[in-house]
Chain A
Amino acid sequence: MALSWDESYFGQLRALAGSGRTLISVGSRCVLRDDTGRVLLVRRSDNATWALPAGMMELGESLRDCAVREVREETGLEVRELTTFAIYTRSPDRGPDMYGHTYQHITMTARIDAYEGELLRATDETTDAGWFAPGALPEPLREGVRRTLTDLAAFETAGTFTLE
Chain B
Amino acid sequence: MGLSWEESYIGGLRTLAGDDRVLISVGAHGVVRDPDGRILLIQRSDDRTWALPGGTMELGETLRECAIREVREEAGLVARDVTPFGLYTRARDWFPNPYGHSYQYISLMCRVDGYDGELERVTDESVDAGWFAPDALPEGSGGLVLRALEDLAAFEAKGTFALD
Contact = CB atoms under 8 A, between A and B. Distances in A.
Interface of A: 9, 13, 16-17, 22-24, 26, 57, 59-64, 82-84, 87, 89-91, 104, 106, 108, 110, 159, 161, 163-164
Contacts of B61: 91
Contacts of B98: none
B40 interface: no
A63 B106 contact: yes
B22 interface: yes
Contact of B26 (A17, A59, A106): A106
Nearest to A10: B24
A57 B89 CA distance: 10
B63 A87 contact: yes
A59 B108 CA distance: 18
B64 A163 contact: yes
A159 B104 contact: no
A3 B61 CA distance: 30
A108 B163 contact: yes
Given A17-B13, A26-B24, 10 more contacts: A24-B9, A57-B89, A64-B164, A87-B108, A89-B63, A104-B60, A106-B63, A108-B163, A161-B161, A163-B108
Contacts of A104: 59-60
B42 interface: no
Contacts of B161: 83-84, 161
A9 B24 contact: yes
Interface in B13-46: 13, 16-17, 22-24, 26
B159 interface: yes
Give 3 nearest A-B pairs by CB, closest first: A63-B89, A89-B63, A62-B90
A22 B161 CA distance: 30
A83 B64 CA distance: 20
Contacts of A16: 16-17
Contacts of B83: 161
A128 B91 CA distance: 34
